[in-house]
Amino acid sequence: MKISRSIRTSVVLLPLLFVVAQAQQSAPGVSQSDQQPPVQADDMKGMQMGSSAASPQGASSSLLPQIGQPPGEAVGPEYHLAELGEEALQHNPTLSESEAAVRSAQARRLQSGLWPNPTVGYLGDEIAGGLGVNGGRQGGFVEQTIVLGRKLYLAQQVAGSDAKIADLEREEQRYRVQNAIRLAYFQTLAAQELVALADQYVKLSATTLETVQRLHNIGARDESEVAMAEIEVERAKLNAEVQRVNLRQEWENLRSVVGDPSLATGHLAGKLDADLPQLDSQQLLSALIADSPAMKIARESAARDEVSILEARRESVPDLRVRAGLEQNLETNDLTGKPFGLEGFAEVRVELPIFNRNQGNVASARADLERSQAETRRLELQLRQQAAVAVAQYQAARITVERYQAEILPRTQRLYEMQRKAWGRMALSYPQVLVAQQSLFTAQAEYIRALQNLRTNAVALSGFLLMDGLAAPVVGARGR
């Protein structure tokens, strides 16, 4: 009886084994290697940024993203930060505005020290015509106002302060443009890295989908895992398209800051994680208060208002008006019986400052000085406040970058490799591998954004917090 049962069991199992063997041999695109655990070099391609192939058995020695690789289809010229900065200095219109403002202030300084023009005139008196009529006076005169009290000197001093302020505003605008170029460069470079990362994720998702489909063909995976892999490929493609939209927007911003709308789209040279800045927050704060163009402008404005008080006081000193001339007197001299002839005259006038001693303008100048001094203190506190925010953001970004480099990225990489190996041994389902795969690329994207934040705040702190390269420069002296 036992022998007959074994024979019947063999009769049932042999056809089933034959069918399975035939299915494995006839499955399209399935070789003997496909029946092995699907952890192959092709399946791991693109797992690391800038790596053409990686597998758990032959992974790259670096567990961190390879920064600095352009998108796969990158075309067009290659741009460096230095050449973009030079082009911005030539084409950004705000620099031309600030340069014109400097020339205007210098011209006003020249004008403020010029003497009043003399007046030349004709005069006539007792003029009569007709036969037998002798008499009348006719002649010319020259009149000059002599400015006293050093008023012209003080006016030129005030205008000279305005010219210094305009020059400082030009320096400030130059910082704005240079910082805006650096900011736009690093933002575009980060967007470029995110596009490259998204493209690699698309390739990895597509390779994983092919592996899942092969396993499904031999009955090793069910339909739901194929559907999940297909959905992940579509999500990866969507993310890549969104990142390209962001990259195009960053290129438009870069063109605007450079001042060249025709700048061709290309790719940026450089690496986000190369030569990361190490900033001393206390030293930066001291430099910000001492050397910031904004603080220099505030101090110069206060100095100008001090001179303005002296100028307002001296305005009450009257000017001397001198007039002199010659006239021909045709009246007959009774003693000689002849006309008096050529005669000279002179006149000197001065205004008495009895009612108007310019006291209102003196009080106004004093109030302007108080306002300027208060503005200097306010600006210092504001810069300290802004610097504190930028320092905190820089330090947070610095900590984030270091933690991703030392801990998060290596651990995420190892987790993904372990999950892939376990999935190849059929010890895990695809959803578990998918979570690890998404975590790996999410961590890499967060690392790139942390680098961008680090660069952005470093630019702000080292550039006196001046960032908007297209903001219109202040025309004329501040506080007026």
**Is the residue at 417 inside a domain?**
yes
For residue 180, the domain's CATH number is 1.20.1600.10
Distance of CA 12 to the CA centre of its chain: 77
206: domain range?
A: 84-114+157-313+375-480
Tens digit of each residue's pLDDT (9 = 90 or more) over 209-252: 998 999 889 888 889 999 999 999 999 999 999 999 999 999 99
Q: Give pLDDT, residue 61.
A: 33
311 touches 365 (CB < 8 A): yes
**Is the residue at 455 inside a domain?**
yes
Mean model confidence pLDDT for the chain: 84
Q: Is the pLDDT of residue 300 over 80?
A: yes
Cα end-to-end distance, the chain, whole Å: 116
What does residue 332 show for φ and ψ, rounded to 5 degrees? -85, 135
**Is the residue at 188 inside a domain?**
yes
Contacts within 8 Å (CB) and 24+ apart, 86-90: 87/258, 87/259, 87/260, 87/263, 88/177, 88/178, 88/180, 88/181, 88/257, 88/258, 88/259, 88/469, 89/174, 89/177, 89/178, 90/259
Number of domains in the chain: 1
**Is the residue at 147 inside a domain?**
no
Read off the pLDDT band of 134 (50, 70, 90). low
Q: Cα–Cα–Cα angle for 154, 157, 160, nearest 5°?
A: 155
What does residue 198 show for φ and ψ, rounded to 5 degrees? -65, -40
Cα distance between residue 310 and residue 366, in whole Å: 10
Q: Give pLDDT, residue 293.
A: 95
The tokens describing 109, both together, are 């300084």
- Say if residue 74 is exposed, middle or buried (CB neighbours under 10 Å; 0-12, 13-18, 19+): middle
Q: Give pLDDT, residue 431.
A: 87
The tokens describing 93, both together, are 């219109």
% pLDDT > 70, the chain? 82
**Is the residue at 75 inside a domain?**
no
Q: Give pLDDT, residue 68.
A: 65
72 touches 160 (CB < 8 A): no
**Is the residue at 290 inside a domain?**
yes
**Is the residue at 388 inside a domain?**
yes
- Cβ atoms within 10 Å of 132's Cβ, excluding its own: 4
* Helix, strand and coil in the chain, % to nearest 5: 60, 10, 30
pTM: 0.78
Q: b or e along 134-170 (b: 16 or more beta carbons within 10 Å of the residue's beta carbon)?
A: eebbebebebebeeebebbebbbbbbbbbbbbbbbbb
**Is the residue at 41 inside a domain?**
no
